Structure 1
Amino acid sequence: MLSAARALVLSEIADAIVADPDVVRVGVDGPDGSGKTVLATELAAVLRDRGRPVVHLSIDDFHHVRAIRHRRGRDSPEGFWLDSYNYDRFRADVLEPFGPGGDRRYRPAAHDVRTDEVLTPEPRQAERNALLIVDGLFLHRDELAGAWDLSLFLDVPFTETARRMASRDGTPSDPGHPGMRRYVEGQRIYFTTCDPQRRAGAVIGNADPDHPVLTWSAGR
């Protein structure tokens, strides 16, 4: 059950999306463990309740194969930042079909991270008025500039995201632990390089999921 404060934030975001006919592609960014998938799922449900069809995907289904992801070393923060995702496939299979003039025929995945298999599923046909919501890391990097009609960034400190990841994945709960270096330092490179909080259309303080804090960018 959603808290009243969380329901209010989701409703405000949905209001902004529905009110702007130019909003089709929505990105939900933030550190690993910040709650991106949960929030994207909840937002999709709110929008569907308002009669809008929604396609909800994750960029985690567009990883590179392990040989590329780990070519700089399995523990490399630079490798995590530079080599995690296949942006060419993501753009061709998802962003372009939902872009201006796109036919809404998309592929939901390009890679199975568990088996390391490259995937080429049959295209799916979304409705013409469908919204696209994508959750995942690094959605405000340069390769995705101009990809989002509206983007959100979930702001949660690493001390909290590491705790959540430990509960979810069994990883160390201390963000300073050597086993977390690849992920924490890779995301710090992203923050320094791309300043996603500035690029996002709105920032959501999600350290307390029951009391999120929504701040719209000055440009909206």
Structure 2
Amino acid sequence: MRLEAITWERLADRLAERLLDLKPADGSPWPRVALDGAPAARPQDLAELLAEALRIRGRPSRVVGTHGFLRPASLRLEYGREDVEAYYNGWFDTNALWREVFGPLEPGGDGRILPDLRDPVTDRATRSPYVHLPPGGVLLLHGPLLLRHWFPFDLSVHVLLSPAALRRRTPETDHWTLPAYARYEQETDPAGTADVLVRADDPRHPAWSGFQG
């Protein structure tokens, strides 16, 4: 696949322009966007840039991170702090994301979403208030392993790191998670299935695929 050099700011602009005309296939008035990537790829940074690019175009959005929807530590760490299978299948509360984020944005929904559920540091409920995303507002969900859950995304962006870059940019204390990302690549092929692929081995010089498909 041929990739073209681009800046992060220009990438956000291109994505924002596409979203201005994007109509969700299921008739929802809320476009839902995945910013998918391992923590070392920092998909949250792109989500924030995209939110700003939408704002200056008069389009509201809401950035939500899956790190705010971790399952309680008693469940996700049941088999130890470095269990790859648990990380891959059980760390993130996908049921809560369906219920509190995607459900309200379905056709006929009220747009009232919960921005986070649990503090990843304290392991306590955040008790954050619900926020209202007006019709036409865009959900920007960022986090790892997003494209394997059948979430109803209208646009998906995968921020890719080569195995060497992923290892280099992941803190050594988190190297135990690397097999989960290798498995994700094999089973889900996010680089091939995402609407937009961004390679970020050098974070100063990203390259992108354009809009695939």
The normalised TM-score by structure 1 is 0.84
Match of 2:162 in 1: 157
Instruction: Give, in angstroms, the shift of residue 163 of structure 1.
Output: 3.7
CA RMSD of aligned residues (A): 2.0
- Determine if contact 2:60/2:136 at 8 Å carries over to the other structure: yes
Q: Is the 8 A contact 1:61 1:113 kept in 2?
A: yes
The 5 A counterparts of 1:82-121 are: 82-121=89-128
Distance in 1 between the 2:205 and 2:160 partners?
13
State the 1:81 CA deviation.
0.4
C-alpha change, 1:164 and 1:11, in structure 2 (3 Å) is same
From 191, 194, 198, the counterpart of 2:185: 191
Q: Deviations over 1:156-187 (max 9, x none)?
A: 1243334434xxxxx32xxxxxx444310121
Structure 1: state its 5+ residue gaps. 166-170, 173-178
Q: Which residue of 1 aligns with 2:18?
A: 16
State the Cα distance separating 1:128 from its structure 2 match.
Answer: 2.0
Distance 1:87 1:4 in 2: 33
**TM-score, scaled relative to structure 2:** 0.87
1:63 and 2:65 matched:
no
Q: What does 1:8-87 correspond to in 2, within 5 Å?
A: 8-22=10-24, 24-87=31-94
Runs of 4+ in 1 over 4 A off after TM superposition: none
Describe the SS at the equivalent of 1:72.
coil
Question: 1:182, 1:198 → 2: CA distance?
Answer: 25
Q: Secondary structure at the match of 2:80?
A: coil
1:15 partner amino acid: E
Q: 3-state DSSP class of the match of 1:111?
A: coil
The answer to whether the 8 A contact 1:5-1:212 is kept is yes
8 Å CA contact retained: 1:34, 1:155 = yes
Number of residue pairs the alignment of both structures matches? 204
Per-residue deviation, 1:146: 4.4
Amino acid of the residue matched to residue 148 of structure 1? Answer: F
Write the distance in 2 (CA, Å) between the matches of 1:107 and 1:157. Answer: 33
Matched position secondary structure for 1:128: coil
Q: Secondary structure at the match of 1:135?
A: strand
**Paired residue for 1:175?**
none
User: Residue 17 of structure 1 aligns to which amino acid in structure 2?
Assistant: L
SS of the counterpart of 2:63? strand
Identity %: 24
Gaps of 5+ in 2: 25-29
How far is 1:35 from its partner?
1.9
1: CA distance, partners of 2:163 / 2:123: 28
What secondary structure sits across from 2:147 in the alignment? Answer: coil
Question: Which amino acid in structure 1 is aligned with residue 156 of structure 2?
Answer: S
Task: Tell me if the contact between 2:9 and 2:49 (Cα under 8 Å) persists in the aligned partners.
Answer: no
Distance 1:27 1:218 in 2: 15
Deviations along 1:79-101, whole A, 9 cap, x unmatched?
11011101011111011112222
